Amino acid sequence: MKHIFTLMALLMVALVQSQTHRFMYELQYKMDSTEVTYEKLNMILDIAPKEVKFYGRNLMATDSLNKKFGMNSSHTDMSGQVVKRKINSFENENFINIKNGYYSFKTTDKINWTISDETKKAENYTLQKAVTHFGGRVWTAWFCKDIPFNEGPFKFRGLPGLIFELSDTKKNFIYHLIKSQELAEVYPTDNFLESNFGNKAIPINEKQKHKLVMEFYNDPFAFERNNFSKANNDLKININGKEIRTVDELNTQTKNMQEVIRKYNNPLEVDKAIHY
């Protein structure tokens, strides 16, 4: 377990008059469940007096650079795990990029844990085991009662202590707590969570989300295709470094993209996976 903070620093969490308690997790995940290699991301859990937010560190880093240097860069989160909720709630607002738009939709994600008597030591910490079924997967969490927050990565919450480790039985998703930080103010996320670098999240429901995802899958290069239909034969379009000159070449790129989408269709909530 890769901790770079001390027990004393964590135990001070309950005593410090902080407005944001920040915990960083390393997430290892498989984009394709049949692969043996993992992608890695650092994810941030911000616990403020009224809200809890979970998002990729790269979103915050891009926003910080924009503010510091007056830049206008953007970043697309690929984790599919950007959420916020009221404190002590299982009602989540989810944020997602689809096609060229940024959207939010609400879900109720009640999680029922079975807490075991099994414990283990990790450095100076005593962690206790808990198991749950969520999103079509079975999950094992190791939480610490000494850290007085009933929160954890993504939508996983409701245990009597902070989740330090979390993974599903097939090891498609693995989280490890690696860092903690105390912030004097509520950390603003307006630029990269509630909106995506200028694109304010459009509220939709899950049915509308499914429709948008399928529209993108059916014609991922709809914008480029529309330009072809309006232009003459001299039009050239670059897709993934390849110069496209004809509709036939565009159709080939479309089939290639659809193959990629099907291959990397391994969402955390596998019970909600779209069957292309």
Looking at the structure, tell me whether residues 225 and 187 fall in a common domain.
Answer: no
175 belongs to a structural domain: yes
Q: What is the pLDDT of residue 256?
A: 94
How many Cβ atoms are within 10 Å of 188's Cβ, its own excluded? 12
Residue type, 149: F
Residue 146's region, left for phi above 0, alpha for psi from -120 to 50, else beta, is alpha
Q: Where are the beta strands (DSSP E) in 78-191?
A: 82-86, 91-98, 101-108, 114-122, 125-134, 137-144, 162-168, 173-183
Angle between helices 222-230 and 247-263 (to 10 degrees): 170
Looking at the structure, tell me whether residues 183 and 249 fall in a common domain.
Answer: no
- Give the tens place of pLDDT for each residue, 31-66: 999 999 999 999 999 999 999 999 999 999 999 999
User: Which one of 203, 231, 249 terminates a domain?
Assistant: 203
Number of domains in the chain: 2
Q: What is the pLDDT of residue 232?
A: 56
Looking at the structure, tell me whether residues 193 and 238 fall in a common domain.
Answer: no
Kindly list the distances between the CA atom of residue 112 and the CA atoms of 14, 156, 166, 251, in Å, as whole numbers in the listed order.
25, 10, 15, 46
Note down the domain range covering 181. Answer: 7-203
The span from the CA of 220 to the CA of 114, in Å, is 42
Q: What is the pLDDT of residue 8?
A: 43
Contact 151, 52 (CB under 8 A): yes
Looking at the structure, tell me whether residues 59 and 135 fall in a common domain.
Answer: yes
95 belongs to a structural domain: yes
99 belongs to a structural domain: yes
- What is the reported pTM? 0.91
Query: Tell me, what CATH number does 94's domain have?
Result: 2.50.20.10
163 belongs to a structural domain: yes
In three-state secondary structure terms, 254 is helix
Per-residue pLDDT of the chain (276 residues; tens, 9 = 90+): 545 454 445 555 544 556 899 999 999 999 999 999 999 999 999 999 999 999 999 999 999 999 999 999 999 998 999 999 999 999 999 999 998 899 999 999 999 999 999 999 988 889 999 999 999 999 999 999 999 899 999 999 999 999 999 999 999 999 999 999 999 999 999 999 999 999 999 999 999 999 999 999 999 998 888 877 665 556 677 787 788 888 888 999 999 999 999 999 999 999 999 999
Looking at the structure, tell me whether residues 124 and 244 fall in a common domain.
Answer: no
Q: What is the pLDDT of residue 227?
A: 74
Q: What is the pLDDT of residue 15?
A: 46
Looking at the structure, tell me whether residues 179 and 261 fall in a common domain.
Answer: no
Q: What is the pLDDT of residue 100?
A: 84
CA-based R_g, the chain, Å: 21
66 belongs to a structural domain: yes
166 belongs to a structural domain: yes
The span from the CA of 68 to the CA of 196, in Å, is 18
- Give the tens place of pLDDT for each residue, 76-90: 998 999 999 999 999
Residue 2's region, left for phi above 0, alpha for psi from -120 to 50, else beta, is beta
